[in-house]
Chain A
Amino acid sequence: MDFSEYKDVFAAEAREHIQSLNENLLQFEQTPDDQELVAEMFRAAHSLKGMAGTMGYTQLADFTHHMENLLDALRNDEIAASQELINTLFDSVDVLELILEEVISYDTVQTDTTAMKERLSQILAGGSEELEESEAIKSAEGEPAHSRPAGEGIKLSLNEYDRELLKEAAVQGYNAYWITVIMRDNVLMKSVRAYTVFQALEKLGTIVKSQPPAQDIDEERFDDRFAVLLFTHQSVSEVQDTVLNIPEIVQVMVTEVEAEDTASVPEEEPQAAVKAKDKPDPVTRRAGNGRSRIVEKYVRVETERLDQLNNLVGELVISRTQVMELAKQLEDGHSRAVIAQMDRVTTELQYAAMKLRMVPVKHVFDRFPRMVRDLAKQAGKEVQLQIVGEETELDRSLTNQIGDPLVHLIRNAVDHGLETREERILAGKPPEGLIRLEARHEGSHVVIEVADDGRGIDSEKVKAKAVAIGLITSEQAAKMTPQEAQGLIFEPGFSTNEEITDVSGRGVGMDAVKSILEAMNGSVELRSTLGKGTTVSLRLPLTLAIIQALLVRTGSVILAIPIQSVRENLRVVPEAVKTIHGERVITLRNEVLPILDLTRLLGFGAITHEGGMPVIVVEAGAMKAGLMVDELLGQQEVVIKRLSPILGDVKGLAGATVLGDGTVALILDVAAVLNDLTAESK
């Protein structure tokens, strides 16, 4: 098999193991009693050996095998930690690193590792002498030392069921043998080799259990040895001969298991001595930094592949809609039921694919405690940051984009929103300012709020400044509600003024925040009470890929209006439309609402209306307007397709989508359209 495609993964993982060996070794030098560190190092060496073997890097595998032997002995207290041993291990890790890089670059090892392997073996051999001493000490303590000769058998552990079987076997006159089979090193296809052993033994009797379990053996999750419990009428030597006659088997150890004995077989897991079991649990196989990392629970996938999957699901959703259209014409109940089922499954698939893209906002929030601490220090304020709902999930691409706006908002809250300690005390507030960062789901949206309990925004000051810089006239200012006035700080040209931000308590880059949010199909909302604090809510769609839209026809064009922008649908008679300052408006519940002729705005040709015309009231940010259309077609889920860059930046359109019947609909960028309106009216 060609493993070259796995080489990158191998290289990355092998380097991680070496890094972990180095770190643990450094620690071990400080705390030589720490058995956990030794176990970690052993696992790293062991994993490296297995990996190298699989890749066919036999010299690398052989070298790590030497390291593993020494670490194994250390782990089992057969040798004691000494400075010499630690130095040798350090040196061996260096050599390991060297030869690893060699195989990564050239596929072969060029460095002669004989001397290093000798040193490792010598330390190991030297350890045996020490072992005798320590054994003496341990014996004196009345505890037999446990040594591990090369040919050690695997310990047998029996459960209740096994014991029952053993009793039954004894009654029927079977011999029960616990057989440890040891293969030579670097056996190719060792699971098949094990299989031949099983095959041979099955001819002699019945295999009751194995250690490791058959599944692990089949997947080669064992070292050089495994054990089986065999019920047979054959003698020990016959069994031994049979197994030894199998190629690549170097040793067989057979112990008779007596039914009566079984009661005395210790219940507890045999201590780490079971070599085959030493292979760490697959779930925590990769060890590093003293912590076990979960690997098999997660699969790393290139984001590109996820995007591709989502794209395909998007296509499927469109086809589904097409099929649903066709199904409407079907008489056959069965076909309709089948299609309905497909519809449900597709919806679930769409949801599942969307879930794949979701990540907790924690990824974004994590950097804020440190940031708030630093900002507070700089500003000389006392600030407490409260984070709520960091587990809320959001489309991955959105989390990438939401970071910057949040930084703006939090920075503003600390710099301008919150008062100094003295001001707060004077205002009768707790001296420590509070910033609350909260994420939560709201329908098909995620809302992220940055709230402070600071001084709030003085809408009068905002208005005054807006007039001063020519953003609005004083007449306009007089008519503005406090809410509208606060909305002014989202205006380009307003918030960049440092002076204003200091008095108003809000500022830098609010227009930037708004445009980023709108680009994400989201919205920003600001609520502020003078003296009480300010809350900025960012409303985001769960995903960028699929939106609910209201379909309308205007002229010959079908437009999709994102449903979150739609407030209501009206039918307006032509007489109700008045013209104020050259602008067409209607009065809706005492509110003057500008009416936009979409066809004119987007240049699709004139609308002709007889009787009442449909008007859709849309809202984006603080702006509201009625869109005049020819016909309402209904609500539908649409998959956003970006407009080709060849078209350039098409004003007023967020993209396009393909409808059930194959028609292309254009997705309206409500915010852009309303912005245009404001720009026009100025």
Chain B
Amino acid sequence: MGKRVLVTDDTAFMRMTLRNVLEKNGFEVVGEAADGEEAVALYAELRPDVVTMDITMPKMDGITAIRKILEIDPNARVIVCSAMGQKPMVIEALNAGAKDFLVKPFQPERIIEALRKVTG
């Protein structure tokens, strides 16, 4: 049984990409969230093993969402996803409790490595 993943990104393209990569590598994508609010709600509902979290999103940004999710579950494992040049926000996310980070454009092997190590 593969690890259960909640994918959060405001673009359908990125969610699709992540889903493809993850499913090919034995992960199970249990949900997709398009913003921070949805991610928090879906986390409470689905209790996935790991969450990928985009930073810049409408309604609620990724960093706030990470904090909310950790309030729900202090052991939650969240991997923050960022674009190049968002270094300060990545640091902030890590300080907020994200377990690791991924930088876009994504390389499949890095995604898998990060998820395996974080869930391992």
Please give, as numbers and ranges, the residues of chain A lying within 8 Å of B100 by CB-CB distance. Answer: 196, 246-247
Q: Which residues of A are found within 8 Å of B110, using beta-carbon distances?
A: 247-248
For the complex, is A26 an interface residue (Cβ under 8 Å from B)?
Answer: no
A199 to B100, CA, bound (A): 11
How many residues on the B side are at the interface (Cβ–Cβ under 8 A)? 17
The answer to whether A196 touches B101 (Cβ under 8 A) is yes
Beta-carbon contacts of A161-198 to B below 8 Å, as 1s and 0s?
00000000000000000000000000011011001100
Interface string of A448-486 (1 = CB under 8 A from B): 000000000000000000000000000000000000000
Task: Judge whether B84 and A189 touch: CB under 8 Å.
Answer: yes
Smallest CB–CB gap between A241 and chain B, Å? 11
- The answer to whether A192 and B91 have CB atoms under 8 Å apart is yes
Question: B117 contacts A189, CB within 8 Å?
Answer: no
Q: Knowing A188-B103, A245-B117, say if A1 contacts B83 (CB, 8 Å).
A: yes
Answer whether residue B74 sits at the interface, using C-beta atoms and an 8 A cutoff.
Answer: no
A247 to B77, CA, bound (A): 14
With a cutoff of 8 Å between Cβ atoms, the chain A residues found around residue B85 in the complex are: 1
Q: Which residues of B contact A191 (CB under 8 A)?
A: 87
Does B90 touch A at the CB level, under 8 Å? Answer: yes
- Is residue B57 within 8 Å, beta carbon to beta carbon, of the partner chain? no
Bound together, the chains give a CA A246 to CA B85 distance in angstroms of: 21
Supposing A245-B120, A247-B113, A248-B113 touch, asked if A199 and B87 sit within 8 A by C-beta, the answer is no
The interface bits of chain B over 79-120 (1 if a CB of A lies within 8 angstroms of the residue's CB, else 0) are 000111101001100100000110100000010011001101
Q: In the complex, are the beta carbons of A195 and B117 less than 8 A apart?
A: no
Residue of B nearest to A2 (CB): B85
Q: Looking at the complex, which one of A1, A192, A246 makes contact with B117 (CB distance below 8 Å)?
A: A246
Give chain A residues whose Cβ lies under 8 Å from the Cβ of B120: 245
B-contact bits for A382-423, CB 8 A (1 contact / 0 none): 000000000000000000000000000000000000000000
CB distance from B84 to the nearest CB of A (A): 5
Across the interface, which residues of B come within 8 angstroms of A192, CB to CB?
87, 90-91, 94, 101
Q: In the docked arrangement, what's the CA distance between A196 and B83, Å?
A: 17
Q: Mark A1-17, 1 if CB is under 8 A from B, else 0.
A: 10000000000000000
A477–chain B nearest beta-carbon distance, Å:
78
Separation of A495 and B94 alpha carbons in the complex (Å): 79
Q: Please, which residue of chain A has its CB at the minimum distance from the CB of B100?
A: A247
Min CB distance, B75 to chain A, in Å? 15
Residues in B with CB closer than 8 Å to A196 are 94, 100-101
CB < 8 Å neighbour of B94 from A1, A188, A195, A248:
A195
Interface residues of B (CB under 8 A from A): 82-85, 87, 90-91, 94, 100-101, 103, 110, 113-114, 117-118, 120
A residues neighboring B (CB under 8 Å): 1, 188-189, 191-192, 195-196, 199, 245-248
Between-chain CB contacts (< 8 Å), 18 pairs: A1-B85, A188-B103, A189-B87, A189-B90, A192-B90, A192-B94, A192-B101, A195-B91, A196-B100, A196-B101, A199-B94, A245-B117, A246-B117, A247-B113, A247-B114, A247-B117, A247-B118, A248-B110
Known: A1-B84, A1-B85, A192-B101. 4 other contacts (CB 8 A): A1-B83, A189-B84, A195-B91, A245-B117
